Amino acid sequence: MTASALARGIVARRRPARRGALRTAVLCLVAALLSVVAGGRPAFALIELDVTQGSIQPLPIAIPAFIGGGGEDAQLAADISQVISANLRRSGLFAPLDPASFIERITSADQTPRFQDWRVIDAQALVTGAVIRQPDGRLRAEFRLWDVFAGEQMTGQQFFTTPDNWRRIAHIISDAIYERLTGEKGYFDTRIVFVDESGPKDRRVKRLAIMDQDGANPRYLTRGNDLVLTPRFNPTSQEITYMAYTADQPRVYLLNIETGQREVVGEFPGMTFAPRFSPDGQRVAMSLQDGGNANIYVLDLRSRRTTRLTNTAAIDTSPSYSPDGARITFTSDRGGSQQIYVMGADGSNPQRISFGEGTYSTPVWSPRGDLIAFTRQYQGKFAIGVMKPDGSGERVLTEGFHNEGPTWAPNGRVLMFFRDTPGPNGGPQLWSVDLTGYNEYRVPTPAFASDPAWSPLMN
């Protein structure tokens, strides 16, 4: 834990309340803060989770099954704690302990744990929680995060929701724990939009699909009639941009994932592709094909004005904005092979930044601004890596037969990409890896899947 996180002390902070104007208020939850100070000690915690170092020792954390009422609710409560445990484990920053090692049995949401029982099994943090059915059928879910060595509650919150939203509750609680212990925002209450692939390799059917970041709740957004590629989230709303071959006219589209409403982005004389939103969600940068050349354009979604950003006899594509919106990184073969460039958001001063061996493409700027992720092809292998925006500090995170198309978790600590396998029966699957290059996990999908794009935090 960073010093600033420590300094925040033991009284949990309130989540900012926000109303989503367009949103379906299915999950109407009231977050209250639960705070118990045991023993009245000073706000001093021993938990140290320094996430600034390259190699991270995961923090041992105990997450006993949440307490439920009877039957179904007990199962739900246990499921919530399991989703929390899986989220934290996948992050690589936490090592959830085996429940078989637990000495104390938590039987009440309000009890102060016997910290000694958790110290002897080396738990540094403890999460307790309960799910209580309300008279109106809704659930009240609550949790407390304890600093075992200091013997104090670090944070606590409760939520009211309908039972079918239990996974979101688990993700929101995971984010609260992650943030409290690392000092950084979490990324668990997020979704992934991707391309679902079915059918034989030479006749693939591709559909847009969306799911939770852990692969749960997948559903389709298109029916597979048209070839669809490269969906990307609007950072500010429930909207995606993607490319579709509708009526054999390859173009960039916008899709509102709540209403299903779809529209073409701009009126261009040729094929448009490789779209990506600006950080404010008000513009879409993309490539426009003109004969043998592709150049980068930006369309202002409000004024509908189009601005041309590049003008070369090359393929300029895959634009991605810096989080402050001031710069754009992109792929170009203007120098003879695919390489990564950075230019001003107005197209000024393009500079090549990739100078390693091989070719570089699919640059994506980290939401933190500090790194650009890319795909590198070298000696027949495809790697996912990161470099600083000036091209220095290049690191490969994973390399193999075919890895492509990184997308960043909103906190800039984890990347998702797709990994393809060779041969007629091969196909792509989604994987995640953290910035250290460790903690590589396959993300479950219903079928083959490619082109993942991570949403911003939903809450």
| Shortest reach from residue 353's CB to another protein, in Å | 16
Residue 255 vs 301, nearer CB to another protein: 255
Q: To the nearest whole angstrom, how small is the minimum distance from the Cβ of residue 305 to another protein?
A: 24
Give the residue with the Cβ less far from another protein, 95 or 447: 447
Nearer to another protein, 51 or 243 (CB): 243
Chain centroid to CA 312: how far? 34
| Shortest Å, Cβ 57 to another protein | 32
Torsion angle in degrees (nearest 10) through CA of 411, 339, 264, 250: -130
DSSP symbol at 324: T
Strand partners, 263: 254
* Nearest residue (CB) to another protein, 93 versus 243: 243
> How far apart, in whole angstroms, are the C-alpha atoms of residue 274 and residue 76?
42
Question: In whole angstroms, how far apart are CA 232 and each of 53, 116, 298, 342, 383?
Answer: 30, 48, 15, 20, 21
For residue 92, the minimal CB distance to another protein (Å) is 27
Output the smallest distance, CB 7 to another protein, in A: 18
Q: Extract the runs of DSSP E, i.e. beta strands, from 117-226.
A: 125-133, 139-147, 152-161, 191-198, 205-212, 219-220
Q: Maximum Cα–Cα distance for the chain, whole Å?
A: 74
CA separation for the pair 148, 164 (Å, rounded): 32
Minimum CB separation from another protein for residue 195, in Å?
10
**Least distance (Å) from another protein to the CB of residue 224?**
6
Q: How far is the CB of 260 from another protein (least distance, A)?
A: 5
Q: Answer yes or no: are the C-beta atoms of 208 and 28 closer than 8 Å.
A: no
Q: Which CB, 40 or 54, lies closer to another protein?
A: 40
Query: What are the CA-CA distances from residue 92 to residues 95, 105, 149, 367, 434 (Å)?
Result: 7, 26, 22, 20, 8
State the residue for tokens 């570089």.
360
Report the distance separating Cα 244 and Cα 189, nearest Å. 28
Those residues with Cβ within 8 angstroms of residue 405's Cβ, 6 or more apart along the chain or in another chain:
362, 375, 417, 418, 450, 451, 452
Choose between 371 and 458: whose C-beta lies nearer to another protein.
458
**Phi, psi (rounded to 5 degrees) for 210:** -140, 145
Q: Which residue, 263 or 324, is less far from another protein as judged by CB?
A: 263
Q: Which is nearer to another protein, 124 or 394 (CB)?
A: 394
Q: Which residue has the tokens 């690191």?
A: 395
Shortest Cβ 274–another protein spacing (Å): 4
| SS3 assignment, position 260 | coil
Cβ-contact 197, 450 below 8 angstroms: yes
Question: What is the smallest separation between the CB atom of 93 and another protein, expressed in angstroms?
Answer: 25
Radius of gyration of the chain (CA): 23
When the beta carbons of 57 and 217 are compared against another protein, the nearer one is: 217
Closer residue to another protein in complex, CB, 206/283: 206
HSE of 88, CA atoms in CB hemisphere, 13 A: 31
